Structure 1
Amino acid sequence: MRTTINRLGVRTATAVAALALVANAAWALTPFQVQDIRVEGLQRVEPGTIFASLPLRVGDEYNDDKGAAAIRALFALGLFKDVRLEAAGNVLVVVVEERPTIADVDFAGTKEFDKDTLKKAMRDVGLTEGRPFDKALADRAEQELKRQYINRSLYGAEVVTTVTPIERNRVNLTFTVTEGEPAKIREIRIAGNHAFSESTLKGLFDQDTGGWLSWYTKSDRYSRAKLNADLETLRSYYLARGYLEFRIDSTQVAISPDKQDISITVNVTEGPSYVVSGVKLEGNYLDRDDEFKSLVTIRPGEPYNADRVTETTKAFSDHFGNFGFAFARVEAVPEIDRENNRVALVLRAEPARRAYVRRIQVSGNNRTRDEVIRREFRQFEASWYDGDKIKLSRDRVDRLGYFTDVNVETQEVPGAPDQVDLVVGVQEKPTGSLQLGAGFSSAEKVSLSFGIKQENVFGSGNYLGLDVNTSKYRRTLVLSTTDPYFTQDGVSRTLDVYYRTAKPYEDQGGNYQLVTAGGSVRFGVPFSETDTVFFGGGAEQTKIKAGTNIPAAYLSYAEKFGRTSVAVPLTIGWSRDDRDSALAPNSGRYQRLNSEWSIGGDARYVRANYQYQQYVPLTKQFTLAFNGEVGVGKGMNGRPFPVFKNFYSGGLGSVRGFDQGTLGPRDVTGASLGGPKKVTLNAELIAPFPGAGNDRTLRWFAFVDAGNVYGENEKWDFGDLRASAGLGLSWISPLGPLRLAFAQPVRKFAGDRIQKLQFQIGTSF
């Protein structure tokens, strides 16, 4: 690394030597009684700053010690590059030369980092406009800048600092960066492994030697933090498979002379594989030994598994917490029999003392009101400490979606060994959004969207949103507001006002429309911590607007019952969601049930839809996913089920490989009508995309789909199910979740419309 300094910088570099000379000059003065103090050389610094820092006052006797202390005090201010003391009779003259002031800090050649971000970082360390220039501080900033480039695998980056003097004792500071090419991981080797192949172990790493998608994933860029995480993954892999004494002996990271290639070698010692011979409990278990034994997941006769040991000790600690023992100590002590490669585990527990929660404090919520957080807590003040309730409370606050981080710390109360305080720390995130976007799908063609949402209006926890979506077939305008605590018991209330236009996905070239306008109110009642039941009601009006190529079924319905239909539907639903992610789930289950019953108006019907999703993690990389959906509707009061309430199937979101919305009954014109009965079954095997490492935002999947739609007078005939199989791509893109699927129908009938390649943004399954 080079540093270019102009004449001013050279003078600054001799500050230490100048200090010694000045000190000698000061000590050479003959002691005298100070009658006055005069300061010379000031340009921007106030004289009061000098007088406040001097250890001398008028009337004091000047001597060498006081002179040296005065010089040290003035240099410590960091405002001067030269200070000396002179005597004019009995007048002490303080002569200073101010440091130049920074006029501007700029960066050149920085492509890897945003320039504004770098300027902010410089401000944080004191290098900013209006501050005195400090050469040592600039050198440290230069080193830190290069270190940041090293973290991005840009080992060949060069940083040159240029200090340019300008008028009025100011300088411009410029960091010129030559970034160069990033160093790539060319080789990863694991030495000392015998039980598992090197390829298997390297497959656990997030870092790799790259693939054709490395430009996107950057998985071949070396990072010490990522390597440490990979080594922990490697250690956990062995410890979960019986290798109790596994250790990583050393890690060598070598870089080529041209700083472009990196080689990583990990040396390991596996040790023998141990089998658990038994599990014993020692200590005080509150006379609840059987309860604690039921929490043990360690099984004798199976290989030692560190994950199960940790899981068991944590379960013990949490269970102690349920009885108020916040400081319980649980330790798993292995008794190793190396001759027989067996290990017995002794679980020792000491519950210590029982504790009450004295106070719950909330911090970090600059915008969100305290009550919004407190009302989610199930642990109360002045109650026994309950670990389950505290964890549940923390999870409920996190699920609000208003915070990037939520943590609960337990603090002992000084002088009160049986009391604790809970400190709830949150980090708020912006909860308002303004969205403008455009999308394209093989079925909907071009669609535009606009949305303005505020999930935490004025910090009250209420939701307010406006959504506008337009496409070739469906257009929507929705105004919605939700009060999650409409009552103190946590009953939510949602108000919706909507206006929708739609027509079947079949492109007939016609201009007919179904226009629906209405409003609804819905309440959500929490029946348990994981289950919510929704119920409500509304009113809506649907118009069948005639146009060219209107399907005969719509025309027939309009002639019999009128072009305008009014419905007064009551709604009831239920949901449960414990997936680990809503966008890229790897485990968990999602269920929802929605139903509506129109009890008034022209359109009388009942309609229900149930969906079940299950995600099963096979390995760290592979996930098996299942989806099932059943919909059913029926007309009431002697009327048929309204055609504008029909279900549709075919295409993304149902049975891929068939044209969107074309399965099921057709009218005499050949138009797809949908129907009041629907069944959909999907299975997917999800894996990281080749070359993308373990990146879950970009994955491919193999799938099998089956499903169909049935008319009101048709029986459920699973012999008529359509089925397909194929491959797809899932990408959580900046525009939203994108899914691309290529499907081959494996069960089809005459007249079915096939569309093998389909894609869409914002769908699932």
Structure 2
Amino acid sequence: MIKDIRVEGLQRTEAGTVFAALPFRVGDTYSDEKGAAALRALFATGLFKDVRIEVESQVAVVVVEERAVIASVDFTGTKEFDRETLIKALKDIGVGEGQPFDKALADRAEQELKRQYLTRSLYGAEVVTTITPVDRNRVNVTFAVSEGGVARIRDIHITGNEAFSEGTLLGQLDLTTGGMMTWYTKSDRYARTKLNADQETLRAWYLNRGYLEFNVESTQVAISPDKQDISITINIKEGQRYTVTGVKLTGDFLGKEEEFKQLVKIRPGEPYRAEDVANTQKAFTDRFGLFGYAFAKVELVPQIDRNTGRVQIALNADPGRRVYVRRINVSGNTRTRDEVIRRELRQFESAWYDGQRIKLSRDRVDRLGYFSEVDVDTNEVPGTFDQVDLTINVKEKPTGSLMVGANFSSADKFSFTGSIKQDNVFGSGNYLGIEVNTSKSARTLVLSSVDPYFTRDGISRSLDVYYRTNKPLNSQGEAYELVTPGAGIRFGVPFSDYDTVYFGAGVERTSIRSATALPENFYRYRATYGQSSTSFPLTLGWQRDGRDSALVPTDGRYQRINLEWGAFGDTRYLRSNYQLQQYFPISKKLTLGLNAEIGHGMGLGGRAFPIFKNFYGGGLGTVRAFDQNSMGPVDVTGAYIGGTKRINLNSELYFPFPGTGNDRTLRFFGYFDAGNVWGDNETPTLASFRTSAGLGLSWISPVGPLKLSWGQPIRKFAQDRIQRFQFQIGTAF
């Protein structure tokens, strides 16, 4: 019988921790089995390097040797990874400050560091772990890293190809050999995940061209002895090409077979295309989702005839069970408030699962522009058969933006435009912005605020306060200017999930300031209506954005209409503007973008159209290679005074920058522009159009979209001002 228990060797650990782990107490009978169980329990705590139990004169003595505790973890020679990131990663596997030191875990941490360097193509990286004892049975752990040079892909070969050339197939891959731009794309750095993705790209390439039995037989990756060069060989088997002879539906289609047949994208008589099959399967599952079947399965069953090279497609459907959404969770929004995301959702809790509403909800959250990634997870609720939970996963991105632009001309010299904008102030979803233009001919200061949910129904409210000065180009003699302070309010009413109608009102006062040398049109307008004019414009607009991306669109359409009616005050006019953009994905690498914009203004009530409301053309956003705002009627004094009519037609063909592979953030484009500005008594004709063509560079830079263009006028007239090179940050067409 044990009369006492004594613990020896403790330095930091509480004695109670040891007593709690022992399977015996004072008064119990000690046995070898209990002693062995005590040893196992104490070792299992991970606190002790050695434990032994001695029984002397009915006293159990537990002698322990504590593990050393990690006092600090440090790194030397690490340039590829952030130190704090490495400390957090190692702490997750048990190597961190304040944790018991375990040599096995330290070795595991060393191997994990080496593995991380392999993912960055640093195959020559070496890691040496140093353990330094310090006072109070503690140790410092230091990982000394010699990163070495980056291993780069020297060559890539594809064998077994017959239908397509090796060059054509290599063009589909994201991995490349070294080139002029691989410092930017890093596509010449090998990673197993990238190679696996490229194999799937090859598979998709062949499956979309009828090669139903295509297979990647094997891959070989060889690294040079100095671990600096990598050679990749991909061995493929193409198989034969198959033509689809027919499509049939099998399984349970809820009695709506005819409805599902309308969704089939596969065309008999044409080569088998995996993309058409995948689109059909997705359309089927989406349609099942409309009826509440969240886990519907549509299986492809090809019936192959190798003798004739034909395939019969069978699509077998299993809708599963109908479910409803119990709860919707939001995850990943570290800055944006939950309500900002939830108010965009069109799928509701305690409602039947609706795949279309879920997709719409995801798209609406993505279109906010606050997140770099948005996806939706569907999880079954344990213990139920008809409930699911949805989780909206988002990844925050910076929502503030800086826009800087510059132009140079003989008239304006250097001029700058800039803006500071915050699209998600304090995570509220509201917008605040300030815009500044220092051009000699057009100076602007604008303060803006937008509340996208001014009402709970989603009606937005915009407030603008501005101060503009405008000096037409080529003025003679004493300078003159148009000064317009003003303010406006606008509301946006969502009539559908895709369409928004805007209406608003404003007040502005425009003054024509000059003593002499006024252009004739300005002189006549001031003589008729006075030096200052006060207007109370009413605005009406409509917008629909169906592009797949606002920054790098490759498909879809964008439209907007704006009407401005000067119904009150010293002016009476109607000013309208319509814009249409359309993007066409010609291929994986080529995108064609078209833009058309038409503007028209007219005076009302027997009054002339206010000259300070004229349209201007020339430069970025209109017809490039012509000087900014230099198109249209020219006054007898040589000033460009704009006009009441404007047409812009722009086309851009985007293609990857050489060496960037399929990266769309950096692209070349060729452009062709046409358009002009016409006065009140002029009629737009094709003969009066100015045209230009050129090349440009588009880059989604850290401070916004950058566009550089160099062009050559094709059709120009004597009074036109030419500016071949132009650039701006934060601009589109």
Normalised by the length of structure 2, the TM-score is 0.92
Counterpart of 1:673 in structure 2 is 641
* Structure 1 segment 348-387 matched on structure 2, within 5 A: 348-353=316-321, 355=322, 357=324, 359-364=326-331, 372-380=340-348, 383-387=351-355
Larger deviation, residues 43-52 vs 487-496: 487-496
Equivalent position amino acid for 2:328 in 1: Q
Does residue 1:342 correspond to 2:313, yes or no?
A: no
Counterpart of 2:538 in structure 1 is 570
Q: How many angstroms apart in 1 are the aligned matches of 2:231 and 2:14? A: 57
CA 1:554–1:123 in 2, change beyond 3 Å: closer, same or farther? farther
Does residue 1:700 correspond to 2:682, yes or no?
A: no
Does residue 1:602 correspond to 2:589, yes or no?
A: no
* Structure 1 segment 275-290 matched on structure 2, within 5 A: 275-290=243-258
Counterpart of 2:438 in structure 1 is 471
Q: How many angstroms apart in 2 are the aligned matches of 1:169 and 1:548? A: 90
Q: CA deviation at 1:201?
A: 0.6
Counterpart of 2:591 in structure 1 is 623
Q: CA deviation at 1:414?
A: 6.7
CA 1:88–1:235 in 2, change beyond 3 Å: closer, same or farther? same
Q: How many angstroms apart in 2 are the aligned matches of 1:604 and 1:714? A: 20
Q: CA deviation at 1:223?
A: 1.2
Does residue 1:710 correspond to 2:711, yes or no?
A: no
Partners of 2:73 and 2:140 within 8 A in 1: yes
CA 1:436–1:277 in 2, change beyond 3 Å: closer, same or farther? closer
Q: CA deviation at 1:144?
A: 1.0
From 461, 464, 469, the counterpart of 1:496: 464
Q: How many angstroms apart in 2 are the aligned matches of 1:375 and 1:735? A: 29
CA 1:168–1:285 in 2, change beyond 3 Å: closer, same or farther? closer
Does residue 1:138 correspond to 2:91, yes or no?
A: no
Counterpart of 1:230 in structure 2 is 198
Partners of 1:648 and 1:663 within 8 A in 2: yes
Per-residue CA distance 1:292-324 (angstroms, 9 max, x = gap): 222111111100111111211221222233334
Per-residue CA distance 1:565-596 (angstroms, 9 max, x = gap): 22111111111111111111111111111121
Does residue 1:81 correspond to 2:53, yes or no?
A: no
Partners of 1:583 and 1:737 within 8 A in 2: yes
Larger deviation, residues 545-554 vs 310-319: 545-554
Partners of 1:441 and 1:761 within 8 A in 2: no
Does residue 1:240 correspond to 2:208, yes or no?
A: yes
Counterpart of 1:451 in structure 2 is 420
Residue 617 of structure 2 aligns to a residue in which SS? coil
From 686, 691, 696, the counterpart of 1:728: 696
Counterpart of 1:59 in structure 2 is 27
Does residue 1:96 correspond to 2:64, yes or no?
A: yes
Counterpart of 2:614 in structure 1 is 646
Q: How many angstroms apart in 2 are the aligned matches of 1:269 and 1:742? A: 46
* Structure 1 segment 106-185 matched on structure 2, within 5 A: 106-185=74-153
Does residue 1:71 correspond to 2:54, yes or no?
A: no
Q: How many angstroms apart in 1 are the aligned matches of 2:688 and 2:643? A: 14
Q: How many angstroms apart in 1 are the aligned matches of 2:423 and 2:564? A: 28
Counterpart of 1:688 in structure 2 is 656
Q: How many angstroms apart in 2 are the aligned matches of 1:291 and 1:96? A: 75
Q: CA deviation at 1:554?
A: 4.3
Counterpart of 2:362 in structure 1 is 394
Q: How many angstroms apart in 2 are the aligned matches of 1:356 and 1:95? A: 60
CA 1:169–1:321 in 2, change beyond 3 Å: closer, same or farther? closer
Equivalent position amino acid for 1:272 in 2: Q
Does residue 1:312 correspond to 2:280, yes or no?
A: yes
Equivalent position amino acid for 2:329 in 1: V
Counterpart of 1:259 in structure 2 is 227
Residue 349 of structure 1 aligns to a residue in which SS? strand
CA 1:130–1:329 in 2, change beyond 3 Å: closer, same or farther? closer
Q: How many angstroms apart in 2 are the aligned matches of 1:625 and 1:292? A: 33
What root-mean-square deviation, in Å, do the aligned CA atoms of Structure 1 and Structure 2 show?
A: 2.7
Does residue 1:739 correspond to 2:711, yes or no?
A: no
Q: CA deviation at 1:614?
A: 1.1
Q: How many angstroms apart in 2 are the aligned matches of 1:612 and 1:180? A: 53
Q: How many angstroms apart in 2 are the aligned matches of 1:622 and 1:347? A: 33
Q: CA deviation at 1:224?
A: 1.1
From 380, 392, 396, the counterpart of 1:425: 392
Q: How many angstroms apart in 2 are the aligned matches of 1:318 and 1:595? A: 39
Q: How many angstroms apart in 2 are the aligned matches of 1:66 and 1:383? A: 58
Q: CA deviation at 1:251?
A: 0.9
Partners of 2:564 and 2:574 within 8 A in 1: yes
Partners of 1:506 and 1:661 within 8 A in 2: no
Q: CA deviation at 1:234?
A: 0.6
Q: CA deviation at 1:50?
A: 2.0
CA 1:232–1:458 in 2, change beyond 3 Å: closer, same or farther? closer
Gaps of 5+ in 2: none
Per-residue CA distance 1:135-176 (angstroms, 9 max, x = gap): 222211111111111111110011111222223333222211
Per-residue CA distance 1:348-399 (angstroms, 9 max, x = gap): 334455x352534324267766655454344455655433233223323333
Q: How many angstroms apart in 2 are the aligned matches of 1:519 and 1:99? A: 72
Q: How many angstroms apart in 2 are the aligned matches of 1:560 and 1:623? A: 51
* Structure 1 segment 556-595 matched on structure 2, within 5 A: 557-595=525-563
Equivalent position amino acid for 1:47 in 2: A
Equivalent position amino acid for 1:659 in 2: D
Partners of 1:362 and 1:370 within 8 A in 2: no
Residue 74 of structure 1 aligns to a residue in which SS? helix
Larger deviation, residues 487-496 vs 728-737: 487-496
Partners of 1:515 and 1:542 within 8 A in 2: yes
Normalised by the length of structure 1, the TM-score is 0.89
Partners of 1:356 and 1:383 within 8 A in 2: no
Counterpart of 1:8 in structure 2 is none
Equivalent position amino acid for 1:333 in 2: V
Residue 92 of structure 2 aligns to a residue in which SS? helix
Q: CA deviation at 1:677?
A: 1.1
Residue 27 of structure 2 aligns to a residue in which SS? coil
Q: How many angstroms apart in 2 are the aligned matches of 1:736 and 1:729? A: 14
Partners of 2:405 and 2:727 within 8 A in 1: no
- State the percentage of identical aligned residues: 60
Residue 61 of structure 1 aligns to a residue in which SS? coil
Partners of 2:284 and 2:298 within 8 A in 1: yes
Gaps of 5+ in 1: 1-32
Partners of 2:595 and 2:649 within 8 A in 1: yes
CA 1:131–1:563 in 2, change beyond 3 Å: closer, same or farther? farther
Q: How many angstroms apart in 2 are the aligned matches of 1:69 and 1:628? A: 82
Q: How many angstroms apart in 2 are the aligned matches of 1:504 and 1:174? A: 68
Q: CA deviation at 1:95?
A: 2.9
* Structure 1 segment 34-49 matched on structure 2, within 5 A: 34-49=2-17
Q: CA deviation at 1:456?
A: 6.2
Partners of 2:370 and 2:399 within 8 A in 1: no
Q: CA deviation at 1:454?
A: 5.2
Q: How many angstroms apart in 2 are the aligned matches of 1:131 and 1:416? A: 41
Q: How many angstroms apart in 1 are the aligned matches of 2:7 and 2:83? A: 41
Counterpart of 2:505 in structure 1 is 537
Equivalent position amino acid for 2:726 in 1: Q
Q: How many angstroms apart in 2 are the aligned matches of 1:187 and 1:284? A: 50
Larger deviation, residues 172-181 vs 375-384: 375-384
Q: How many angstroms apart in 1 are the aligned matches of 2:382 and 2:63? A: 54
